[in-house]
Amino acid sequence: MPLTMTRAGEVNEIKRIGGKEEVRKFLETLGFVVGSRVSVVAENHGNVIVNIKDSRIAISQEMANKIMV
Amino acid sequence: MPIKIALAGNPNSGKTTLFNALTGSNQFVGNWPGVTVEKKEGKLKGHKDVVITDLPGIYSLSPYTLEEVVARNYLIHEHPDAILNIIDGTNLERNLYLTTQLLELGIPTVIAINMMDVVKKNHDVIDVARLGQELGCPVVEISALKGIGIQEAAKKVVFLAQEGLPTAPVHKFAEEVENVLTQIEEKITGVKEEEKRFFAIKLFERDEKIKELLDCVPEVEDIVKETEEKMDDDSESIITNERYTYLSSIIEHCYVTKSKRKLTVSDKIDRIVTNRWLALPIFAIVMVIVYYVSVTTVGTMATDWVNDGVFGDGWHLFGIGSSEYTEKSDEFSDASLKTEAYFDAAEAAGIDVEALRASWEDGELDETALAAFETEAQAAGLTGEAEVMDDETGEVAETIPVALQDFESAVAVREPDPADYGVWVPSIPVLIEDGLTAINCVDWLQDLILSGIVGGVGAVLGFVPQMLVLFLFLAFLESCGYMARIAFIMDRIFRKFGLSGKSFIPMLIGTGCGVPGVMASRTIENDRDRKMTIMTTTFIPCGAKLPIIALIAGALFQGAWWVAPSAYFVGVAAIVLSGIMLKKTKMFAGDPAPFVMELPAYHLPTVGNVLRSMWERGWSFIKKAGTIILLSTILLWFLQGYGVENGSFGRVTDLNNSILAAIGGVIAPLFAPLGWGDWKAAVAAVTGLIAKENVVGTFGVLYGGLDEVAENGWQIWDAMRMEFTMLSAYSFLVFNLLCAPCFAAIGAIRREMNSAKWTWFAIGYQCIFAYAVSMCIYQLGMLFTTGAFGIGTVVAFLIVALILYLLFRPYHEKNKLTVKVRV
């Protein structure tokens, strides 16, 4: 399911990342690679703040929808 | 040859703090060639021959962002003697991702693990020796914020640089990937042995930009494709995955964490601060505080002091004696009002008081003439009427009868000299004037220096204290981590009209002054978003535009309450319309980059870092006041002060005869379709370029022959009503709100755009947009109120149609983000 549907605090493993190549590549350098463990810290009108590899990354709803866990 | 050391690391890893700690005040700030990415260099404290370059904060050496390209080009072309790679100890894996790439460059590298104090507080353990072994380079523990371990890190990196031995990366990827990389390495020629691995990996990733750096590009497409098929992934993702797999394996050995993913303090704060319901109210409160303190209270006090004190008449040190002086001064103005009224009454009664009045105005009252006049006045039983004006409304608030006794006491009151009260410090213009008079400076040069240079630049420098206060807040919000959250909160709203969440800050600041507003756009990383923000920020009415609004509202709209709010509405609407229209042009088209941004952990910044950041921004503004603004004010001083008078060219006493008036006459017809084709209005708009409040001052001179008018210019309201209609006045107001900002703001735009072409484009756009909007308002307004229909009306309708087309035409997405960098 997409990352936007997970509950805050729940730890999940990334299964697949979709979206445009350029953004996907940027996400990869930030640690969003298949197999990484990710959890949602906070949510604001669809935009989410997630915890990945011990850092906090804010991503928009469109992008979070493309990260499958 | 000085030793060159590059400081590299992720954003938010504490790089700037470390750089400041290493170099102290020995810094040089500039831009990387051809781009608006800030470049900082500095000499290592205690080592005059060691130069440290602060690379932009990056996550990898890929070619996707400007920062990455800049950093990469520097490392390859300049080939620093050593790299100091700072990594965040609380976020090892992600930070080491960049490290693996840096190590491939073959440049000696020292790793400094920052935030060790936090790591230890969390009871986590990093096996530094083991990590060093695994990565094949020295590792030191530091805390940049607390200043621990910095000297050791510096010593190590200098030692390594002096030794100059190239390093080879120790890390290995999966066997099949390594095999391909070896094959590619063998094909590469003309590159140093230790750099081969870097180029091999980049070729494998099909990095287009790296090919430009190679003399001959080997043909590797076949092997890359083969591997991709074998591993069922694209080459770039293969490498990324390999790096992370490798990092997970070494972190397993070197890092023991006790805190098993429970919520950190930052997480808890984020839960509240970015909460669906609380985010906006909290944000509003923070902004109100920032705005209130920097624009209305402290900032205004400081600005008034600079404008009226340092660059005005002078000031009372620590305010000593200023209240007594104000009292006396009020007494005097009251008395002179009565005296004037009495003289007026005498004149009306046919008594000749011209000589007496002149002597009184010069401050050398002719006592005998006065006695004679008093006798005459008594005989005539003369009483005058002093009219006290209300500064706010310009109406007569009170009428005081002045009898002879009142006149006698009033005429004797002398103008107080501020220097007699308390500790009086003369202003800079006064000091310079005294100095120039002492050396017998020629008149025109004295005038150039005093009214041209000191007056013009002084008016601009007056904003410095206010800006410093604002910058102080911004620096604090930025370094404590809240600024990143603001962008996150505001992003959804601003995204709708093509701006970024970070565009809000410049606009908010712009309500105070456009200059710091434009400068605050620095925090926007995305180049397109930043350019667009710079172009639209000055649409918001700034503090200096308020007098224009007050003048128009008072003179033509009987002070209607809605004029001022409507000005803000026009500003916001201009931003929204421009955002949507520009986003659809070729220049700004591009993928609406989805919002992805790292949020740093909340922390209290050090006082030193906040002050340094504040000063850097303030100083760059002051420097600008010394260049662009100086030249512009000299030019305008000349145009304003010179012209043909009494048949010969020279200094003019009447602004009507100046070159500026002549120019105004030429350009005035241009504004006829806007409803104010009078040269006076055109000239006023031009003088607004120095500072927007000058528009009111210029009207004062042109309509009333007054040297000084109140802030809302009530003295000239009647004259204005003769020249303007409500509609043309509103059109004039809108034009002045939206057109090119003052020179200071243009200078700021120039600096932030870092390109003359873009600056001209921004100013051109603003002027054309302002012209179009004002024209529509006037022409359509005329049509609806008087039914007047002409060519102008047709053009106005065409403009409306064009704007609607630009707003609603389909959006064409550009497929590729092209990052142009001069190498």
Predicted local confidence at residue B35, as pLDDT: 67
Predicted local confidence at residue B547, as pLDDT: 81
Please judge whether B598 and A57 are an interchain contact, meaning their C-beta atoms are less than 8 angstroms apart.
Answer: yes
For residue B384, CA distances in Å to B352, B401, B637 come to 15, 6, 42
Please judge whether B263 and A9 are an interchain contact, meaning their C-beta atoms are less than 8 angstroms apart.
Answer: yes
Span B343-347, average pLDDT? 82
**HEC string of B43-60?**
ECCCCCCEEEEECCCCCC
Q: By percentage, how much of chain B surpasses pLDDT 90?
A: 22
Residue B117 annotated as binding site:
yes
Predicted local confidence at residue B730, as pLDDT: 95
| pLDDT band, very low/low/confident/very high, at B757 (cuts 50, 70, 90) | very high
Q: Has residue B429 got a pLDDT over 80? A: no
Residue B236 annotated as binding site:
no
What is the average pLDDT score of chain B? Answer: 83
Q: Please check whether residue A51 is in contact with residue A41, taking contact to mean a CB–CB distance below 8 angstroms.
A: yes
| pLDDT band, very low/low/confident/very high, at B768 (cuts 50, 70, 90) | very high
Please judge whether B93 and A46 are an interchain contact, meaning their C-beta atoms are less than 8 angstroms apart.
Answer: no
DSSP string over B631-688: HHHHHHHHHHHEEEETTEEEE-SSGGGBHHHHHHHHHGGGGGGGT---HHHHHHHHHT
- Among the listed residues B386, B394, B392, the one whose alpha carbon sits nearest the alpha carbon of residue B720: B394
> Which domains, from first to last, does chain B contain?
3-163 (3.40.50.300), 175-256 (1.10.287.1770), 322-420 (no CATH), 432-461 (no CATH), 465-542+568-621 (no CATH), 628-808 (no CATH)
Q: Has residue B711 got a pLDDT over 70? A: no
**Which residues of chain B does A51 touch, with a Cβ-Cβ cutoff of 8 Å?**
261, 267
Spatial distance between the Cα atoms of B783 and B777, rounded to a whole number of angstroms: 10
Instruction: Name residue, tokens 């083969």.
Output: B226
Report helix, strand or coil for B294: helix
Contacts of B92 (CB under 8 A, 6+ apart): A54, B113, B126, B251, B255
Spatial distance between the Cα atoms of B59 and B31, rounded to a whole number of angstroms: 20
Q: Please check whether residue B690 is in contact with residue B451, taking contact to mean a CB–CB distance below 8 angstroms.
A: no
Spatial distance between the Cα atoms of B561 and B565, rounded to a whole number of angstroms: 8
Predicted local confidence at residue B706, as pLDDT: 61
> Which domains, from first to last, does chain A contain?
3-68 (2.30.30.90)
**Which residues of chain B does A22 touch, with a Cβ-Cβ cutoff of 8 Å?**
64, 591, 817
Report the residue of chain A nearest B101, measured CA to CA: A29
Cα dihedral B166/B167/B173/B179 (nearest 10): 40
Predicted local confidence at residue B459, as pLDDT: 64
Spatial distance between the Cα atoms of B141 and B114, rounded to a whole number of angstroms: 6
Judge whether B593 is closer than 8 Å to chain A, CB to CB: yes
Judge whether A68 is closer than 8 Å to chain B, CB to CB: no
Spatial distance between the Cα atoms of B113 and B128, rounded to a whole number of angstroms: 9
Q: What is the pLDDT of residues B564-623, one digit of tens each?
A: 889 989 999 999 999 989 888 877 776 556 778 888 889 888 898 889 888 877 787 677
Could you say which of B94, B275, B279 has the minimum Cβ distance to residue A30? B94
**Number of inter-chain CB pairs under 8 A, A vs B:** 121
**Which residues of chain B does A59 touch, with a Cβ-Cβ cutoff of 8 Å?**
594-597
Q: Has residue B69 got a pLDDT over 50? A: yes
Could you say which of B97, B279, B594 has the minimum Cβ distance to residue A23? B594
Residue B287 annotated as binding site:
no
Predicted local confidence at residue B763, as pLDDT: 95
Report the residue of chain B nearest A51, measured CA to CA: B267
Please judge whether A41 and B62 are an interchain contact, meaning their C-beta atoms are less than 8 angstroms apart.
Answer: no
Of B782 and B35, which is predicted with more confidence?
A: B782
Q: What is the pLDDT of residues B131-165, one digit of tens each?
A: 998 898 999 999 998 889 999 999 999 999 998 88
Could you say which of A22, A49, A63 has the minimum Cβ distance to residue B64? A22
Q: Please check whether residue B652 is in contact with residue B642, taking contact to mean a CB–CB distance below 8 angstroms.
A: yes
- Among the listed residues B801, B475, B432, the one whose alpha carbon sits nearest the alpha carbon of residue B617: B475
Please judge whether B492 and A51 are an interchain contact, meaning their C-beta atoms are less than 8 angstroms apart.
Answer: no
Predicted local confidence at residue B608, as pLDDT: 86
| pLDDT band, very low/low/confident/very high, at B788 (cuts 50, 70, 90) | confident
Instruction: Name residue, tokens 């996707």.
Output: B64
**Which residues of chain A does B594 touch, with a Cβ-Cβ cutoff of 8 Å?**
19, 23, 59-60, 62-63
Span B805-816, average pLDDT? 68
Q: What is the pLDDT of residues B713-732, one digit of tens each?
A: 777 788 888 889 999 999 99
Question: The pTM is what?
Answer: 0.73
Q: What is the pLDDT of residues B501-531, one digit of tens each?
A: 778 878 877 877 788 788 888 777 677 888 9
Instruction: Name residue, tokens 């030191």.
Output: B140
User: Does the complex come out with an ipTM higher than 0.90?
Assistant: yes
Amino acid identity for residue B54 in this structure: D
